[in-house]
Amino acid sequence: MEMRKSKIAYLLFVIAIVVFLYFFLAVREGEPLLFDSIISSYLTNFFTESSYPFFKILNVMGSTIGTGIISLIVIGLLWAIKRDYAGMAVLAITISLGNLLNMWLKDYVGRPRPETEHLVNVKSLSFPSGHAMMGMILYMLIAYFIMNSVKSNGTKWIVVILAGIIILAMGISRIVLQVHYPSDVAAGLSLGFVWAYIWITIYEIVKGKLISR
C-alpha cells in the first residue's frame, strides 16, 4: 500500500490540516470553546471512576518513555524481520522531531491546562496534546508497516481498526483524566496524522528510489 497514492489518505490529510488550523486559531484567540465544554462534560460523565486505571495505563504508554520504548521495539522488529533501514530511520526521525514540534507548539501557544483536578501528573502546557499527537504518529506508522507486510485485506482492516481504537482511546484518556481540553486532543490527533502522512510519503519516495537502483 502506497499512502501517497491513496485518495482517501490524501483527503484525510487535507481535513486534518483544516481541523488543526481551526483549533490552533480558535485557541490563540483565548476564548472558551463550546466544543470543549460539551465534549468534556459528556466524556467525564460517561467514563466513571472504574475506567481510570485503564486510562492511566494509556497515560504511561503515551508518555515520552512509553513512546520511546515502543518505538525502539518496532525499530528492532523492522531490522530483524525486514532489514528495513529506511523504515527504521523514518520512524526514529518522525517520533523524535514530532515530539520536538509538539513541545515547541505548546510553548508558542502557551495554553494552560484545564482548571480541574488532574488525575495524573502533568508538567507541560496544554495545546496540542502530546499523548494524542504522538499516539497518532506512532500507531499510524506501526499500522502502516504491518499493512505493508500482510496480503490479506481482512487482516489489513483488522490492523486499521485496532490502531484506530488505540489512538482514539489515547485521546479520550487525556480528557477523562482531566489534563487536556478536547480541542487539545483534536488538534494533537490531526497534527499527528499530518506529520505521519508527510514522513510516510518521504519513506515511500526513498524506498522507491532505492528499489529502482
Helix (H) or strand (E) holding 165: helix 153-176
Domain region containing 27: 3-212
Per the CB < 8 A criterion, the answer to whether 112 and 125 are in contact is yes
* Per-residue pLDDT reduced to its tens digit, 18-46: 999 999 999 998 888 999 999 999 999 99
On the question of pLDDT at 155 being above 70, the answer is yes
pLDDT of residue 82: 87
Mean pLDDT of 153-162: 92
Mean pLDDT of 177-188: 96
- The upper half-sphere exposure of residue 102, i.e. CA atoms within 13 Å in the direction of its Cβ, equals 32
21-26 contact pairs (CB < 8 A, 24+): 23/127, 23/128, 23/183, 23/186, 23/187, 23/190, 24/109, 24/127, 24/187, 26/183
At residue 126, the 3 state secondary structure works out as: coil
Q: The pTM is what?
A: 0.93
On the question of pLDDT at 189 being above 90, the answer is yes
Mean pLDDT of 112-120: 89
User: What residue type is 196 in one-letter code?
Assistant: A
Of 48-52, 147-151, 169-173, least confident by mean pLDDT is: 147-151
Q: What whole-number percentage of the chain has pLDDT above 70?
A: 97
When the pLDDT of each residue in the chain is averaged and rounded to a whole number, the result is 92
The whole-angstrom distance between residue 122's C-alpha and the CA centroid of its chain comes to 18
Structural domain count of the chain: 1
pLDDT of residue 209: 66
User: What residue type is 143 in one-letter code?
Assistant: A
Mean pLDDT of 107-134: 92
Q: Which residues are catalytic?
A: 131, 180
